Amino acid sequence: STDSITTDTITPDERGYIVKVGDIAPNFTAVVAGTDDTLSLSQYRDKRVVMLQFTASWCGVCRREMPDIEQQIWQRHKNNPHFALIGIDRDEPDSTVLKFAAKTGVTYPLVLDPGGDIFCRYAHRLAGITRNVIVDTDGRIVMMTRLYDEAEFNRMTVVIDSLLNNLNDID
């Protein structure tokens, strides 16, 4: 079984990722901050776009990027039944995550990642955040970002828009 293999032994790419575009996004289950609810990536397989945002309150780049994610992505698509956005907060307690959400003004769901175990399914344990992973309706990774580069961020919004728009006529 592959369960005995730790992802720490996989050689990361130059940005610290151990997954690549085209891979099936590793599933996870996590508790939603401020609730007793859990969510799993697999429950969103009917979505045409799932955006995973890896973050933490101590990450200055994350604090700069999150209001833009909130305004340019979440507010535009949150009512689209084909879209989901999950913020994954690395190894911080519930109270810290809730304060962080309030401070950055984000209203999208943030889930807890104790020990960084979800993060480690996507990137090397010692790799940094912020990171965004865009997953399509087949559960495959279509784009991954690292740090907060405006051109890359804009490309990501175009990828999300095109995935949502290209498929609207299938309904």
Contact partners, residue 142, CB within 8 Å, separation at least 6: 21, 134, 135, 136, 159, 163
> Any idea what the Cα angle at residue 147 is, between residues 102 and 13, rounded to 5°?
135
DSSP string spanning 91-142?
Answer: S--HHHHHHHHHHHT--S-EEEEGGGTTHHHHB-TT----EEEEEETTSBEE
What are the tens digits of pLDDT across the range 14-44? 999 999 999 999 999 999 999 999 999 999 9
Per cent of the chain over pLDDT 70 is: 92
What are the tens digits of pLDDT across the range 98-126? 999 999 999 999 999 999 999 999 999 99
Q: Model's pTM, two decimal places?
A: 0.91
Mean pLDDT of the chain: 92
Quickly state the pLDDT bin for 2 (edges 50, 70, 90). very low
